[in-house]
Every structure is written in C-alpha cells, then in structure tokens.
Structure 1
Amino acid sequence: MTTSLDTVVIGGGAMGSATAWALARRGRDVTLLEQFGRGHRNGASHGTTRNFNPGYADPDYVAMLAESARAWNRLEADSGELLLARTGVVNHGADPRLPEIRSALLAAGLRAEFLSVEEAAERWRGIRFETRVLHMADGGQLNPDAALPAMQRLAAGLGAEIRHQARVLELHVLDDGVRLTVESGGRTEVLSARQAVVTAGGWTTKLLAKVAPLPRLTVTEEQPAHFDIMDDGARWPGFNHMPGRGDAYGYWRSPVYGMHTPGEGIKAGWHGAGPVVDPDRRTFAPEPGQRAALQRYAREWLPGVDADSLTDISCTYTTTADENFILDRIGPVVIGAGFSGHGFKFTPAVGRILADLATGDGGAPAIFSASRPGLR
C-alpha cells in the first residue's frame, strides 16, 4: 500500500527542520523524515555552539545574513528558547577582504569596526592578535541542540509530521512526483509525494546519484576540539583567524575558527581540513597530525586556554568546489546541499528559500544553482 503525501522533506538536520517550519507556516502539508533518532551526532547539525559569523562581502550572502538575523529573533520569540548568544565575532590575520566585508556590512545595517591590536588585546585577552581586528558586534554563537527541536516543535504545532528513525532507501522520480521507499521501525513502506525536498547532508549524493545531475559534493570528517579555559576572567567572542605567510604558519592546515562553548571550554578547529569519508563509515576518531597541529595553534594564539587539556569533537562538512551552497529545483526534487562548513548561521533563510522552491513562490540566487559553472 502506498501513502500519498504533498511534500516530503528528507533529512531532519538544520536545513530540513527550517524548511519544514517554513512550509508549515504557509499551511502546506509537509512530512519530515530523519534517518536517525533525536539529538544524534552523525551529521553536521549538533552541539551547542556554531558561530553566527557576519564576515561576508558578497551581496547574496549579506542579504541572507540580515534575513537570518531577523529570523533567529523570530524563532527565539516563537519558541521561547535562547538560541543566539550575541558575543560578537572578531576576524583577524592576513585576510585582504576585511575592508570590503566591513563596507558591505555597514551598508546592510550591520555593525562592523576595525580595532587595533592593542584595543583587541585589552578586550579579549584570551586571544593573541598580530594584525588589526574586524569586530562584528552583531555576531555570536547559535545553539543547534536547542534550535533543531524548536523548529521541529513549531512545525509540528502547525500540522507538520516529524518522523525520526525513518531512513529513505530509494527515491524515484515519477511523471507526477516522487516515490520513496522508507525503512522505519523494522518495516518498509512506500510513500508517494508531489515533491521532495532533499536536505540530507553527507548522504545527498548517495540518495540522488541516480535521480538528479548533482555537482561533486565532498564529505569530510572535521575534528575541532574544546580546550579547557585557564583564564577565568577572559571574555570570548567568536573568532576567525586567517594564516599569514612564512615558516611560522607552515603547520597550519587552514584558517581557524573558534568560540566559547559554555560548560565545555573554547572550541577551535581547522576549516574544511578533515579527511574524506563515507558518512556511514566514520570512525569519529581524531587524526593525530591535525590534533597536534591544533594544540600547537592553541599554545601560540590562545593564551587563555590549556592546550594540553582538550576534548575532541567530530562532525561532517559537505563541500562544493566553490564552497557556495546548492539551493535548486530539478523536476519534483528540491535540493539543499553543499553548505561547506559555513551554512548553519543561514538556516532560517535557507529554509525560506527551499520552501519558496517547493511552493513556486520564488527562486534562489544564481550563485546557488546546481548547474553553475565550475562545480564539476
């Protein structure tokens, strides 16, 4: 027996939850299918901190930043949850884009100011600075572990069906929609729907390889860590640090990002430097070389932490060749993928865009097209 539905969202991480919430607010019939249980740690949408980093100059991203800032406020008001700790974010290091970022943010009504090394060190003594700092006061830290349940709860309250431990085994495109084979509770069922929104993270290619012409998506296992705080009096913004040139930076794997995670320490990690993995065969174990390099970074640049006392973290990135997202529709399949380690802050805007694509109410900026040049 086949159950007929309107819209199925496949993948209940951040983007799928936001899409279900956006569709339910429009009065649409939506079913969200998540292959794992509530609060799982198998993808990219877990933990209690993600930086809301406003450090963008591209107008499409800046517009999404402004929209997302308003939408996170709305989600907090609607859910009664505190989701965004507004600590500010500082970007520093050898990044030539900082003046352009500052100008773009100010034009969009977002705060951005340059501080000298001395001014930054006085405010945030737990971090060492060698270049001037771009301080973005509207930045801060988001809480995925609170945000996902909040969006799902609100969506369910508006009529959405939220199903965990419902794994989509197959997806087929039909003349009038899609057909899904779903494994749930030890049994297999067949669902048909007018359309599907696929927000499956690292499993996107596995699910859609035979369905839609996808660009290459690279899944990596990233391994940041929480470092114990030594300086209890230090204040901590979110931070992003670009490497300079020369031997002193030879051990760096990539730019570094970080933030304070209350109760767990200072989170720091390399950006997109982890090994390529099959998301169904992850070890969750840190790679020793990267771990040692991150400890060295902490010793040299984070005087407020104990570099020898850390707790490893594991998550995934699903990355496109240009690190821009894929937000597109191919037939009855809407695709949200390739968030490349910088998507979480945009979650509400992405949910709105994917809902627009599903309902025909609008499209996505061209930079997010699945067929844009240079992605293969």
Structure 2
Amino acid sequence: MSPHPIAIIGAGLAGAATAWSLARRGHDVVLLERDTPASHLGSSHGSARILRYTYPDPFYTALMLDARRGWEELEDLHGERLITPTGSLDYGATRDPSALAAVLADHDIAHELLSATDASSRWPGFTFDGPVLWHENAGVIDAESSVRAMVAQAVAAGAVVHENWTAARVLAQGDDYLIESEEGDAVVASHVVVAAGGWLPALLGGLGLADQTLAAFPRLEVRQEQALHFPYRDPATAWPTFINKRADIQVYGLPGGRDADHRGQKVAEYNGGRVIGSALEHDGVVDPARRDRLVAYVERALPGLVPEPYAETTCLFTNAPADDFIIDRVGGLTILSPCSGHGAKFAPLLGELAARLVTDEDAGVARFRPLAASVGA
C-alpha cells in the first residue's frame, strides 16, 4: 500500500463530499483548491441551490432519496440546518407535470397535481396556464455552508486542505502520481480524484490520459449562466422554488437566501448563458440581452415579483451528454463531474459513490462510467 495520501483536486460540493467520505473511512486525504472551498470561481458558491425530487427519469428520483439521507446525517454532524424547506412547483408544457407526478407516486413521495386555477389561488405570485405539480419536500440548499461543513468533517477526520493551490498537471510516477501546481509546488498521491467542475476541460489534457481514453471522454459543455434577484412585492409571502419549462423558455427560481439579503427570488434561465471553453473564460459579465429576456419573463409570468432586479450574478454550468453525471476511474485516477446544472442536491451521495470507486468497494454506478464502458477501464 502506498504511503502517500489520496489527493482531491477541487473543493466544491463534489470534492468536499469525496474528501469527507474518504477521510471518515480512515484514508489520508489532501484537498487541493485553487482558491478557497466554495470559491466564487467555481460552481458551488452562494447560499441557494434547489433540492427537489422531480425528474422524468425515475433513476434520479431514487438517487435523490438516497442523497437526502446523506444530507440529514451531515446536518446532524454540523449541528445547523443546511436545507431550508420551501416546497417546489413544476409547470409548463415541456415540463410535463403529470408525468413527473407519476414518478413521485411510484416512489411514495408526497405531492399534489393541481389545475392552473387551483394553483393560482394558492400561489397568486405566479401565472399558470396548465397543470401544476407541487411537492412539499423540496427546499433550498445553502451550497457554501454545505461545502464548509463537509470540509470541516473531513479535516476533523484527518484530511489536509491546501488553499490557493492550482493544479496544472498530473504525472504518473511508478504506482503513484505527481501533481504539479502552476506555482511550482508538488504533491505525491497514491490516487487522484479530479473534481474540478468548469475547470475540468482545461485540465483534462494534463491528466496523462491515453489518447484512446481522451477520445472516449464525454464532450463537456461549459456555460456562463446568469441569475437575477427580484424583490418580493409582499415580503411576508413564503415563496417556493419552481421550474417552468415551455417551448420558448426554460426558467427556474428559488428564494435567494443570504445571496439576496432574504428579500427576493433568484431567477435564471436554464442553459440560457453563453458557451465558453472552460472556467478560464468566465468573465462574470451579465449579458444585457439575456438580462432583458429574463426581466420580460418575470414581468409577464411572476406578478408577485417586482420586475426590477436588485442584484445579479454569473455562475458556471458544466453539462455532460444527457445531463448525466461522470464518476469514472482509469487506473489510479478518478474523474468526478456530477454537474449538468443539477448535481448540488446529490452532493453527500456523490462523495460516497466516488469514495467507493476509489477504494474498490464496488464498481460505482455503471451509468456514470463512460470511460469504463468505452475503453474497459
């Protein structure tokens, strides 16, 4: 057995969860982060991510039930709430609330399928034009606090964190791996987990993977998304999260929490941002045309909000084909990219799945292993 630690590149939700899962198993772990955990440079910053059970594919709904148990354990260990209950609304012709309701019913998840009229009477801040699915067990994850909680648990179990440590390349060194930083530092590891989010496309070529493996790697699309915060007309009204998918636009929203001074709804267009090569091209600039498009949506579809954003931000979506996750291993290198705009809610479970893959406890989830299927890794 190698005397060197397991190194994890990236301290966002996925990397922090993996560090926690491995450290609690008694493994030596070093967590390498180019900035600080839950950095604004990545995809895990801020206080507002949706936790929901609604998926047209029952595979992910079942996965969410497993993940929720992990969240409950983390909250118990952390001693503070990380998920705020809000409930969630799903509506719009291409969202297909009836099909989603059938999936929830098959998993015994409490829900209601309402007419547009009944939903409008309960949530007058919305405009509905068809069936609406309500499920009360949804909520909002405080992403930044969750990362810090998992890092704290990992450190308590013996993990070491290196901040401002930017991995540049990974080189095989016998049975081990040498990770070199852009600053000239180096770490020797027995196994490397790459959880670099939107930085992965820029790092992928420096991982020492064979050409055949690189050719088989799913094509990742990184987008610079943007979210606007709109004030509530009635601050006393409790707002749920929502997803509205129509032929012309796909929008989601959630109470903005700390990010929005607890006085407004965070609203964004799903995959509405510009495509960039990697996080290296993330400039943080909100596109005026896309801002106007979202303001126009709020004006016509969310009468309970003042259609004048008081805050705005950009973030990274790293999309894999079919919005599936990637949790795969080649030799002593595990690549973890559970993104596609919906990975946050699964974080504790994803760390557990990655840890199992690293330690040979099982083969991981086959659906998330495109390299194993393509090159026999």
TM-score by length of 2: 0.90
Report the Cα offset of residue 199 of structure 1. 0.3
Give the alignment partner of residue 188 of structure 2, picking from 173, 184, 192: 192
Report the Cα offset of residue 102 of structure 1. 2.0
How far apart, CA to CA, are the structure 2 residues paired with 1:57 and 1:175?
45
| Counterparts of residues 16-55 of structure 1 (less than 5 Å) | 16-55=15-54
How far apart, CA to CA, are the structure 1 residues paired with 2:94 and 2:40?
33
How far apart, CA to CA, are the structure 1 residues paired with 2:58 and 2:364?
13
- For 1:35-81, what per-residue CA distance to the aligned partner results, in whole angstroms no more than 9, with x for missing partners? 11245211110111101021114243122100111111111110012
Report the Cα offset of residue 103 of structure 1. 2.5
How far apart, CA to CA, are the structure 2 residues paired with 1:68 and 1:233?
31
Report the Cα offset of residue 100 of structure 1. 3.2
How far apart, CA to CA, are the structure 1 residues paired with 2:226 and 2:37?
22
Report the Cα offset of residue 283 of structure 1. 1.8
How far apart, CA to CA, are the structure 1 residues paired with 2:26 and 2:40?
31
TM-score by length of 1: 0.91
Report the Cα offset of residue 182 of structure 1. 2.5
Task: Give 3-state SS (helix, strand or coil) of 2:237's partner.
Answer: coil
Conserved? CA contact 1:124–1:234, under 8 Å: no
More helix by share: 2
More strand by share: 1
| Partner residue, 1:64 | 63
| Partner residue, 1:358 | 358
Distance 1:354 1:163, change over 3 A: same
Distance 1:19 1:87, change over 3 A: same
Aligned: 1:221 with 2:224: yes
Distance 1:78 1:40, change over 3 A: same
| Partner residue, 1:260 | 255
Distance 1:181 1:76, change over 3 A: same
For the aligned residue pairs, the C-alpha RMSD in angstroms reads 1.9
Give the alignment partner of residue 198 of structure 2, picking from 194, 197, 202: 202
Letter in 1 for 2:87: G
| Partner residue, 1:132 | 131
Task: Give 3-state SS (helix, strand or coil) of 1:293's partner.
Answer: helix
Task: Give 3-state SS (helix, strand or coil) of 1:159's partner.
Answer: coil
How far apart, CA to CA, are the structure 2 residues paired with 1:243 and 1:58?
19
Task: Give 3-state SS (helix, strand or coil) of 2:16's partner.
Answer: helix
Report the Cα offset of residue 208 of structure 1. 2.0
How far apart, CA to CA, are the structure 2 residues paired with 1:326 and 1:91?
26
How far apart, CA to CA, are the structure 2 residues paired with 1:85 and 1:100?
26
Instruction: Percent identity, please.
Output: 32
| Partner residue, 1:234 | 237
| Partner residue, 1:328 | 328
How far apart, CA to CA, are the structure 1 residues paired with 2:105 and 2:350?
23
Task: Give 3-state SS (helix, strand or coil) of 1:206's partner.
Answer: helix
Distance 1:276 1:90, change over 3 A: same
Conserved? CA contact 1:4–1:192, under 8 Å: no
Distance 1:282 1:39, change over 3 A: same
Structure 2 spans left out of the alignment, 5+ residues:
none
Give the alignment partner of residue 246 of structure 2, picking from 236, 243, 247: 243
Report the Cα offset of residue 143 of structure 1. 0.4
Task: Give 3-state SS (helix, strand or coil) of 1:48's partner.
Answer: coil
How far apart, CA to CA, are the structure 1 residues paired with 2:151 and 2:131?
41
Letter in 2 for 1:31: V
Letter in 2 for 1:319: N
Conserved? CA contact 1:201–1:318, under 8 Å: yes
How far apart, CA to CA, are the structure 2 residues paired with 1:309 and 1:368?
38
How far apart, CA to CA, are the structure 2 residues paired with 1:234 and 1:48?
20
Conserved? CA contact 2:325–2:368, under 8 Å: yes
How far apart, CA to CA, are the structure 1 residues paired with 2:309 and 2:205?
42
How far apart, CA to CA, are the structure 1 residues paired with 2:366 and 2:22?
22
Report the Cα offset of residue 188 of structure 1. 2.6
| Partner residue, 1:159 | 158
How far apart, CA to CA, are the structure 2 residues paired with 1:154 and 1:96?
38
Task: Give 3-state SS (helix, strand or coil) of 2:281's partner.
Answer: coil
How far apart, CA to CA, are the structure 2 residues paired with 1:82 and 1:168?
33
| Partner residue, 1:11 | 10
Runs of 4+ in structure 1 deviating by more than 6 angstroms, as ranges, are none
How far apart, CA to CA, are the structure 1 residues paired with 2:345 and 2:338?
14
How far apart, CA to CA, are the structure 2 residues paired with 1:96 and 1:293?
20
Task: Give 3-state SS (helix, strand or coil) of 2:184's partner.
Answer: strand
| Partner residue, 1:81 | 80
Worse-superposed segment, 98-107 or 268-277:
98-107
